[in-house]
Structure 1
Amino acid sequence: MDAVARRVGQAFQKGTKIVSPSEDGEPSEEYVLVEPVGKGAYGMVYRAMKMSTKDYFAVKILDLDEEAVAKGKHSTVETAAREVAAHKMLSHPNVIKYYTAFVHQKYLIIVMELADQGSLRQYVRHFGVLSEEVIAYVMKQALTGIAFMHQNDMIHRDIKAANFLLNEQCDVKLADFGLSIGNTAQDKAMSMVGTPYWMAPEVISHGTQTKASDIWSLGITAIEMAIGDPPYAEKNPTKVLFLIAPPEVPSPTLPKEFFPDGPFQDFLYACLNKDPKQRKSAVELLQMPFIKNARDFGSFEEFDDHLRKTHASFKGTDFEKWFLQRREEIKSKRGPERSLEVCHSGKEERKRRKGAERRKKGGWRKTSGLVFQSFPGGKPGGDSPEGIAKLSLTLAKEGRRRAELDAQMLSNRIALLKAEEEKAWKKIQETRKKKTDLDNLRDRADDRQRAKDEFYRNKYTQLRQQQQLVAAERERARAMRDNSKNVISERKAADARSVKTESFDIEQNKRERELFERATKAERAHMIKSQKDEVKRRLEEEQQMKVEAARLEYEAKVAKEETQRARTEAMVAKLEREEAELILRLQNTQVTQRQAYEELEGSLHNSCSSSVVGGTNKPSRSGSARSFQAALGMMNHHLPSRTGSASGGTANTLQAKRSKGTTKTAERKAR
């Protein structure tokens, strides 16, 4: 991989100009490489300036390695295609922005946003460790970008501090999507990819890449920023895989004497749960207190000042002593120049160490097909017959013991082989399944590569056709320049004729339009008059209908009143008859009373006369007779007047009713 970066560095020196091809009518752009800012597995990253705008960009140059592609090694092409596809799908403030990509010679050029403040791994190497405030700030921004990726069904698969970049605004940007994949059923990877120290247990055990794998790698990155290196950094990367994968091995943690229980430890526990189903998602982690209460650095200067102050306070503490001791242990076991991200086999070194240990302990040597352990004083027993006999007896006992041990070991080996055979058979089945999945992935990659080749082939064909069309246009332009005078004169004459014809047509159209407008105006006036007459006629009909309805209503009302009047007159006549009968009865009653009074008066008069004639002096009775006569006279005086007044009142009432009825009848007739 260093050879690839070296080859790219030799091909693209400082000041090299790269011109992007023009596509879809857009002009080509020219980029000038200013300086290299980093190197990766398949190429290098440069700081470049866009000549048209004088802006700076990050230009990643990948070697497509045509010879390796011809031999069937698609790793470089797949990585490049995957990175470009991932960048095209993602547009977020916490993800490195993608601008364009194109092929230059046999190299793929990817133009991206420039995060010129470096990666977090550089700050960890410079300052040793980072404070919890910085870790919380970085985790919050990184989780925002990771949550956006997961919502778009994308998995990064290589989360670590080296892939977290900072820009001038102190924004954390996710970078290096060469290993990212989709999270759909077709794209889910069943392979162990990534960096060993940051790999999740399920990736090592089953090769299953999920969104939870990114969360595990994020927790390891938090530990890396807190203590300067990831867990197990002092061990060989291959051994680390066997320390992370077993479920009985606890998850990595931070030392409690320097990192007591609190929000940071809770955050690490949520990220580093061995069960991926119990591991929190990126959205859930954003709601934890450690992330919600994170400090917000407004500028990169504030961020840098905080790093320097915390680094100064770190000096002379117990944590610094522990950190330096751990760093020396890592250097002694891993070597000062050994990288965490590269797995070295170290077979020759292990052989050399084993040989040195054997020589130090005495070792083993072979003589005449028998194995003797070397002793400082030579062979045991010397060369005497007794010594030879003792040696033979010892060898016999040792041979018998060795035979028994070999038999026991053979039986154990057979049992182990049977168990291994079963495991191997299961492993073969899993390998076949993985091989099938890998073949499918390889086929899809081949299809994508073929589609890409076809795309560039079609693009090249289109460019050639465009060049041919341009050449043909130039030839036609030259021929037109040769005959320009005749063409111009003919065009002027034709223009004059066309102008004359157009002016005549315009005049004719104007006259026709005026005639049409007059006819239209007359027709419109006639139509308006017809509409007015129709409206007037309808109004008159409605008025006549209303008058007729009012007349009918009035006649019905008059008929009703006539009927009422007839009923009233009938009632008046009936009352008059009843009144006449009552008057007649009253007169008869008065006559009868008068006769009775006269008879009573006559009888009284006779009685008084007889008393006087008889000479009887009864003053009391004569006085009473006189008083009775006076009362009778008063009755005779008042009785006719009451009868007359009653009959007169009744007659007056009837006369008033008749006059009132006659007045109403006259008023109705007048109406």
Structure 2
Amino acid sequence: MADEEWSLADFEIGKVIGEGKFGKVYLAREKQSGYVVALKVIFKEKLKKYRFHAHLRREIEIQHSLDHPNVLRLFAWFHDQTRIFLVLEYAARGELYKMLKSLHHFSEKRVATYVASLASALVYCHKKHVIHRDIKPENLLLDVDGRLKIADFGWAAELQAHVKRQTMCGTIDYLAPEMVEKKAHDQSVDNWTLGILCYEFLYGFPPFEAEDQHDTFRRILKVDVVFPSSPYISPEAKHLISKLLVKDSSKRLSPQKILTHPWIVENADPSGCCKQ
């Protein structure tokens, strides 16, 4: 969809459903079809202030090119004199982060379903040479059926064969060791993050969390993983985590192999939906 095909007049605007650094996200309905979407409004003045134009352009190009059940769709974009509008898939159940904070931790079946959904999305993204680099609960949304969607491709990058990236980006608790050491990295940083998320979903907090940032970095570099005695977590789930949280990036379990891991095969819902 080219930007000139759409304007704000094509939509009925509803309530605010999200807010970020550059603007707000509104519930909206496309007038002609009645289709409900999320309309992200970004102010050009703020983009200019933070010199984020190129960053946003890359985000739009990458997310618009992706079409997978576990990746939030970017249907179209358009702009006026002061604002840029992104027409996004509406995820009715909102951020996974809020659900995790409410429930404190998830069951193994729910975690296996979410991890399988993430692995499936990463198989797709990595085949298209896209790495996300900032997968965390705040960037994971749930649709009306409880299906997980990866959102916010602000730190995503396109990775050509045998070429690594240099930018240190993402969120501290989820950084892979090679990023902490400011070394070149590839798609395996996403695989590391799946290990972090699997742990966090099961226990309610990320594995290397510490009061001081330097302590978090130290624990990441040592791969200092501690499995608490409560809640009880099966050995199979711990085995998967231990195969993902590996300092040598070349030895981390790939998304394809995550999908065939016995714990995932036994526990994940094949539909990818968690309605309860």
TM-score computed with the length of structure 2 as normaliser: 0.90
In structure 2, runs of 5+ residues without a counterpart are none
Where 2:57 maps in the other structure, the secondary structure is helix
The offset of 1:186, in angstroms, is 9.8
In structure 1, runs of 5+ residues without a counterpart are 1-19, 305-671
2:74 pairs with 1:101: no
Where 2:56 maps in the other structure, the secondary structure is helix
Partner of 2:220: 244
The offset of 1:228, in angstroms, is 1.5
Which entry has the higher C-alpha Rg, 1 or 2? 1
C-alpha RMSD of matched pairs (Å):
2.6
Matches within 5 A, 1:80-479: 80-184=56-160, 188-245=164-221, 249-256=222-229, 258-259=231-232, 262-296=235-269, 303-304=275-276
Work out whether residues 297 and 303 of structure 1, in 8 Å CA contact, stay in contact via their aligned partners in 2.
no
Taking a change above 3 Å as real, the CA distance of residues 136 and 79 of structure 1, as seen in their structure-2 partners, is same
Taking a change above 3 Å as real, the CA distance of residues 241 and 168 of structure 1, as seen in their structure-2 partners, is same
Give the partner amino acid of 2:227. L
2:20 pairs with 1:40: yes
The offset of 1:238, in angstroms, is 4.5
Pairs aligned (count): 275
Higher helix share: 1
Taking a change above 3 Å as real, the CA distance of residues 59 and 260 of structure 1, as seen in their structure-2 partners, is closer
The offset of 1:47, in angstroms, is 1.1
Work out whether residues 140 and 294 of structure 1, in 8 Å CA contact, stay in contact via their aligned partners in 2.
no
Give the partner amino acid of 1:137. T
Work out whether residues 119 and 164 of structure 1, in 8 Å CA contact, stay in contact via their aligned partners in 2.
yes
Give the partner amino acid of 2:28. A
The offset of 1:177, in angstroms, is 0.4
Partner of 1:584: none
Alpha-carbon displacement from aligned partner over 1:63-93 (angstroms, at most 9, x marks no partner): 2337846xxx52x213311210111221111
Report the Cα distance in structure 2 between the residues aligned to 1:297 and 1:122, rounded to whole angstroms: 24
Report the Cα distance in structure 2 between the residues aligned to 1:171 and 1:66, rounded to whole angstroms: 33
Alpha-carbon displacement from aligned partner over 1:260-302 (angstroms, at most 9, x marks no partner): 55210111011101110111111111110111122427696x6
2:24 pairs with 1:51: no
Report the Cα distance in structure 1 between the residues aligned to 2:70 and 2:47, rounded to whole angstroms: 37
Alpha-carbon displacement from aligned partner over 1:608-640 (angstroms, at most 9, x marks no partner): xxxxxxxxxxxxxxxxxxxxxxxxxxxxxxxxx
Alpha-carbon displacement from aligned partner over 1:460-497 (angstroms, at most 9, x marks no partner): xxxxxxxxxxxxxxxxxxxxxxxxxxxxxxxxxxxxxx
The offset of 1:118, in angstroms, is 1.1
Where 1:191 maps in the other structure, the secondary structure is coil
Report the Cα distance in structure 1 between the residues aligned to 2:236 and 2:111, rounded to whole angstroms: 12
Work out whether residues 161 and 224 of structure 1, in 8 Å CA contact, stay in contact via their aligned partners in 2.
no
Partner of 1:64: 44
Taking a change above 3 Å as real, the CA distance of residues 116 and 27 of structure 1, as seen in their structure-2 partners, is closer
Higher strand share: 2
Report the Cα distance in structure 1 between the residues aligned to 2:111 and 2:23, rounded to whole angstroms: 30
Report the Cα distance in structure 1 between the residues aligned to 2:73 and 2:36, rounded to whole angstroms: 13
Alpha-carbon displacement from aligned partner over 1:400-429 (angstroms, at most 9, x marks no partner): xxxxxxxxxxxxxxxxxxxxxxxxxxxxxx
Work out whether residues 102 and 110 of structure 1, in 8 Å CA contact, stay in contact via their aligned partners in 2.
yes
Taking a change above 3 Å as real, the CA distance of residues 258 and 91 of structure 1, as seen in their structure-2 partners, is same
Work out whether residues 169 and 299 of structure 1, in 8 Å CA contact, stay in contact via their aligned partners in 2.
no
Where 2:250 maps in the other structure, the secondary structure is coil
Work out whether residues 259 and 265 of structure 1, in 8 Å CA contact, stay in contact via their aligned partners in 2.
no
Where 1:111 maps in the other structure, the secondary structure is strand
The offset of 1:43, in angstroms, is 2.5
Where 1:110 maps in the other structure, the secondary structure is strand
Taking a change above 3 Å as real, the CA distance of residues 186 and 222 of structure 1, as seen in their structure-2 partners, is closer
Alpha-carbon displacement from aligned partner over 1:331-386 (angstroms, at most 9, x marks no partner): xxxxxxxxxxxxxxxxxxxxxxxxxxxxxxxxxxxxxxxxxxxxxxxxxxxxxxxx
Give the partner amino acid of 2:108. E
Alpha-carbon displacement from aligned partner over 1:443-469 (angstroms, at most 9, x marks no partner): xxxxxxxxxxxxxxxxxxxxxxxxxxx
Taking a change above 3 Å as real, the CA distance of residues 67 and 61 of structure 1, as seen in their structure-2 partners, is closer
Which structure would you say has the larger RCO, counting Cα contacts within 8 Å and 6 or more residues apart? 2
TM-score computed with the length of structure 1 as normaliser: 0.39
Report the Cα distance in structure 2 between the residues aligned to 1:299 and 1:280, rounded to whole angstroms: 21
Report the Cα distance in structure 2 between the residues aligned to 1:233 and 1:104, rounded to whole angstroms: 43
Give the partner amino acid of 2:255. A
Give the partner amino acid of 1:275. D
Q: Percent identity?
A: 25
Report the Cα distance in structure 2 between the residues aligned to 1:231 and 1:42, rounded to whole angstroms: 31
Where 2:78 maps in the other structure, the secondary structure is strand
Give the partner amino acid of 1:160. K
Taking a change above 3 Å as real, the CA distance of residues 67 and 137 of structure 1, as seen in their structure-2 partners, is closer
Partner of 1:418: none
Where 1:109 maps in the other structure, the secondary structure is strand
Report the Cα distance in structure 2 between the residues aligned to 1:103 and 1:45, rounded to whole angstroms: 15
The offset of 1:173, in angstroms, is 0.9
Report the Cα distance in structure 2 between the residues aligned to 1:103 and 1:287, rounded to whole angstroms: 44
The offset of 1:196, in angstroms, is 0.3
